[in-house]
Chain A
Amino acid sequence: MNFDFSDDQKLLQKTAREYLSEHAPLSLCRAVLESAAPYSETLWQGVAQMGWLGTAIPEEYGGAGFGRLELAVLAEEVGRALAPIPFSSSIYLAAEALLLAGSPAQKQTYLPKLASGEWAATFAHAEQPGECGAAAITTKFAGGKLTGSKVPVLDGAAARFAVVTATGNTGVVLALVDLTATGVERTAVRSIDPSRSLAGIRFNAAPAELLGDVGAGWSTVQAVLDRAAVLMAFEQLGGAERAFEITREYCLSRYAFGRPIASFQALKHRLADLYVEIELARSNAYYGAWALSNDRPELAVAACGARAAASEAFELASAEMIQLHGGVGYTWEFDCHLFYRRAKLLGVALGSAHHWREQLMERLGA
């Protein structure tokens, strides 16, 4: 047993952190948030050049052919930086869906474009408020055409193509759609975190192709979500840790009643509790990473734990961040809100913590 990343993986982490601290300071996230741009094209290209997008994509499809552990390391760093790029949508969701269910031709067409950063992609699933299981899907796939509407779609404006959940005549299917094709209509949707844009996408008999076998259905969707959940958990963990570090520093430097506020026991205990929550989330994420990278049957359960713990840890860390900063924490100028927004955006992107706990019980209770 060995429950840690390897020295090579730690080196990758160090390089990534250095790169992002130079090329993705929090001011970059803020710049995208305050502009109309859906993401930072410069950072996206930079990250592509670093080879991160193709980390877990096999060499034959233009990737680096590393494993999911390397991808998890990068996800955490992307999370720490609140990087305003469609990394999760393109890599944890679209690329993973292709790797899991794509035909050789589909992989050949799409994966090299993702690995090189030429195309961003997204996963279009939600259609209306509420948790979206198989029954909530009304978008139809028939005869190579897709009809229906998906909203909100994370990174929908940045994406060149989408993996879309739909119902075909055999039940739930995944479809691949070129978002520049005729019959696709995109509209911007205001986001709780404009550093990651949302879109509504309407498909009017848009040309689409099946991703995966005809009868594979909901289990494929679930498998894609499980894989993304683990990787997303690392991104959330990164965000939580950074929020925690900034908060700790602030508490040490801010004085009240003649003392650093970090010397008040009420605050010390809250910071201790927050640290503990983040450590527990990290441990659950590690287990998920192990299950994912080894294609273990434990993934179904591990993904739930990793995802629910990380969602809660990030949200807690970002809310405590504002609280412990006091009034300045609630200003636009301070960075706290960037974390608070991102925590919620990531926290519901693949279904809420509540939903993943329900999934967990489903799987443990069976």
Chain B
Amino acid sequence: MDFNDTSEEAAFRAEARAWLEANAERLKAGERAPGLAEGRADQELIQRSQQWQAKKADAGWACITWPKEYGGRGASAIQSVIWNQEESHYKIPPNIFGIGQGMLGPTIMVHGSSEQKQRYLRPMLRGDEIWCQLFSEPGAGSDLGGLRTSAVREGDQWVINGQKIWTTGAQYCRWGMILCRTDPGAEKHKGITYFIVDMKSPGIDIRPIKQINGLSGFNEVFFTDVRVSDDNRVGAVNEGWRGALTTLMNERHSIGGGAGGPDFGDLLQLAKETLWEGRPAFADSAVRQRLARFYIRLKGLQYTGYRTQTALSRGAIPGPESSIGKLVGAPLRQEMASFAVDLQGAAGVAMDGAASADDGLWQLMYLATPGLRLAGGTDEILRNIIAERVLGLPPEIRADKGMAFKDVPTGPKNT
């Protein structure tokens, strides 16, 4: 057991650091790179993110765990931890490529045709083309297999009709991966097909949805007779669920608990600087106990991640265990933000940098974290996954088992 770098790891770290030092601006003490929660994904930010990604790609530092044949370095899980640690010390734009690079790219690598790999992976890695995931629908979230958006074959094309929702980044994405119902007469997981869709296709209508934090990260996406070539089908007809599982597995692994934004060090600082009746809040034992609990959980999470990385670098495949990261991390950050707001007393509700501490970042985080607990699987769904897939407990009873999809009861009924 060793926390220190091996000599190869140290060499890798030095190499990464040297490149970053030459190509990016190091954060000053107490300074923070803008996270996604606080910076909206406007045109300017997207451009900066793309420029940074391209620069990394050209130097061989993009998607380092991807195989070399797709432009990665074939780096180990631990090298990717090292890279992320080093990169976090620099003032770089937020990563808006995660859905593609972390989830969809790996799905194409497993289930895509060689033409698809050729065409899509390199621009995805370079950040030239951004991707979105068109899975959720108004009637199919946790129960993703209940999706209704249809794709009907016409010669070597498919015609898509229906609605997706909560689609992060649809407004600026070039490509999307979409799950469609192709056989409503089959059981629900057996009549789904997976496609790559050009987000600029005629018939696609993207409407941003305003979130509780006032930003519009996600969208409704309407499909009216949208045509997709059969060449863009990923995997076999009616077997899209297999590909979906690959995506979801990578989603859980790649999301983790990381939300950007202020961290424990900032919270500790806040508790020391905030006065409660003339004394630092940090002098209060209840405050200290709460902080200690946060710290121990965060560290537990971090070291659990290291254990996973160790296993991965020894050849294990990412398993359902990685659900822990998001299940613990998301509510924990929500609690930390809530506590940071409480610490500030009446001023805690002020969203202006001048009136509240830390430029109002904790308030933003308070508003952003409920979404973190939903996106990529809710707390409840993650608990089901751990219970069933890690602990081997019996699966949920399915009321729709053995039924043709078209006969499955749904609700709420549209009024």
Contact = CB atoms under 8 A, between A and B. Distances in A.
Q: Do A and B come from the same complex? A: yes
Interface of A: 1-6, 69, 248, 251-252, 259-260, 262-263, 265, 268-269, 271-273, 275-276, 279-284, 286-287, 289-290, 293-294, 304-305, 308-309, 354, 357-358, 360-361, 364-365
A67 B64 CA distance: 36
Nearest to B82: A1
B268 interface: yes
Nearest to B311: A4
Interface in B299-318: 299-304, 306-307, 309-311
A357 B292 contact: yes
Given A1-B3, A1-B5, A251 B393 contact: yes
B285 A305 contact: no
B292 A280 contact: no
A357 B386 CA distance: 29
Interface centre among A271, A281, A365 (most CB of B within 10 A): A365
Nearest to A296: B3
A308 B295 CA distance: 11
A1 B310 contact: yes
A286 B306 CA distance: 10
A13 B67 CA distance: 36
B296 interface: yes
Contacts, number: 145
A2 B291 contact: no
A353 B240 CA distance: 49
A275 B384 CA distance: 12
A290 B1 contact: yes
B272 A365 contact: yes
A361 B288 contact: yes
B303 A272 contact: no
B64 to A, nearest CB: 16
A295 to B, nearest CB: 13
A3 B310 contact: yes
Q: Is the interface of B mostly helix, strand, loop or mixed?
A: helix
A251 B393 CA distance: 9
A5 B311 CA distance: 11
B172 to A, nearest CB: 36
A289 B272 CA distance: 30
B285 A263 contact: no
Contacts of B321: 279
A273 B383 contact: yes
B301 A268 contact: no
A248 B285 CA distance: 36
A283 B296 contact: no
Contacts of A365: 268, 272, 282, 288
A52 to B, nearest CB: 19
Contacts of B299: 283-284, 287, 305
B387 A293 contact: no
A272 B268 contact: no
Contacts of B300: 279-281, 283-284, 305, 309
Contacts of B268: 364-365
Interface in B73-113: 78, 81-82
A104 to B, nearest CB: 30
Interface string B378-393: 0010011011101101
Interface centre among B272, B328, B393 (most CB of A within 10 A): B393
Contacts of B303: 3, 283-284, 286-287
Contacts of B396: 265
A6 B297 CA distance: 25
A3 B3 contact: yes
Nearest to B390: A275
A361 B267 CA distance: 13
21 contacts: A1-B9, A3-B3, A248-B393, A263-B393, A268-B388, A272-B327, A275-B386, A276-B324, A276-B386, A280-B297, A283-B301, A284-B303, A286-B1, A286-B303, A287-B303, A289-B1, A304-B296, A357-B288, A357-B293, A360-B292, A360-B295
A280 B291 CA distance: 17
